[in-house]
Structure 1
Amino acid sequence: MRLSRIIMALTVGLAVAAVPTAAGAAQPQPQPSTSPTQPAPYPPQPPVLTLDDPTIFLGQTFTLRGSGFTPNTTATIDVTVSDLPAAAPAAGTARQSDGSTVALAPVAYVLLSAPLHFTVQVDQNGNFTTTYRPDRIGRYTFTARDAVTGQTAVTTGTVLPPRQPRPPHHHGGLPVTGSSLSTPMKLGGGLVGAGAVLLLLSLAWRRRGRFGLGSR
């Protein structure tokens, strides 16, 4: 009798001890996250510097355009100049972007002391536009530096000697200048004068013959 009571007590104790474990197992277990990993933010794109026309003639102006700079800040531009390469079109000519060549006129020019370092203002969109007037022929390298990030953008341009002006086009033969007209005008005036003298002499001779003053 006692043994059965002991066995029953052990059974009840084990049942009571197992209730919390079963209750914990019945609780919903957290599921592992299946959301994708957020990608790392993209690094900022480097700034860009361009020229409206990369080839100009001495006396013309470069137009520089920058984009991708820190908004509402400044950018510094450094300029370096090198000689044109030896492999160029024939002497006295220059090659244009369309492949054609134009004659060049050798002229003397005065150095204008174009700056080799200057600062431009960047607008709220990170862009700027500025102009640069070269003072001599050569290959120009422009390097723009962002004042905040320190990133740079580079572009190059070429300055050729001035173009030789084309002669005026005349229709219907060669042009006639004032110097070429002076000789015919002088010759014509002389002939008119000689004709007037001969006419007066002829009239005088006729009058003389009419009044019997001629030689007998």
Structure 2
Amino acid sequence: MKSLFAAAAVGIHLLGAGVSEAASVLYTTDFPGTATQPSGWTVVAGGTATGTGNGWRIDDNGAYRFQNPDTGVNGLSQYTGALEGGAAYNALTDYTVEAGLRRSAGAVVGLVGRMSSNDTFYHARIFTVNNLSSLQLYKFVGGSPTQLGSTVTLNPAYVADALWKLVLDFNGTTISTYAYDESNTLAGSIVVTDTAIASGAAGVRAQGTGRYENFTISVVPEPSAALLAGLGLLGAAAVRRRN
């Protein structure tokens, strides 16, 4: 599988040839319902909320919300339901997870991927560092966090409660995260190489008050051999598979 953003360069050539390789959506939701838990999701940390209490719930605006005034409490929820094509939710390797999300002032809001256990996963997050809205990428192994790459100051800056898009992408040992503002302008990105976690589930993680308007897991299939041969890219694809 070729990840969504790693496919960009090849995608340009494909479009130039009048052919496009579309992402295959394994799961997507805009969190219908209110005062409930979304179907197929499992709360790992932070608890479930009743009414307007603390924890995870779908709020009155149709967003999957985590809230807790204690910013030392992490909320973590993963998707454990069915995927298109019959893939196992906890066996995904190369894929892209993205969400439209909002965070209140001082809160942390982010995504998790390759979640192989409740305390082992990659985590991309939008956070405030030294009074600057920032993008960070972490790995947690056995609950122990390690920051991957440097903290990136978002430009433009995140404004509290704005609807942004966060993307977390896996392509072999390359782990990438991208943050887009309300105008879909790239505000920050981090790309690293790491071998700690090879596969696992996807989900969301927050502190304070974070809200998720939508959530999608997708993959981009490898172009067919015939298509690559026609574009003169078959050899390059073979090299990539060997790597």
Same fold, judged at TM 0.5 (above) = no
Structure scoring higher RCO (CA < 8 A, sep ≥ 6) equals: 2
Band of TM-score, shorter chain: under 0.3
**Larger-Rg structure:** 1
Q: Which structure features the higher share of helix residues?
A: 1
TM-score, length-normalised on structure 1? 0.27
Higher share in strand: 2
When the two structures are superposed, what TM-score results if normalisation uses the length of structure 2? 0.25
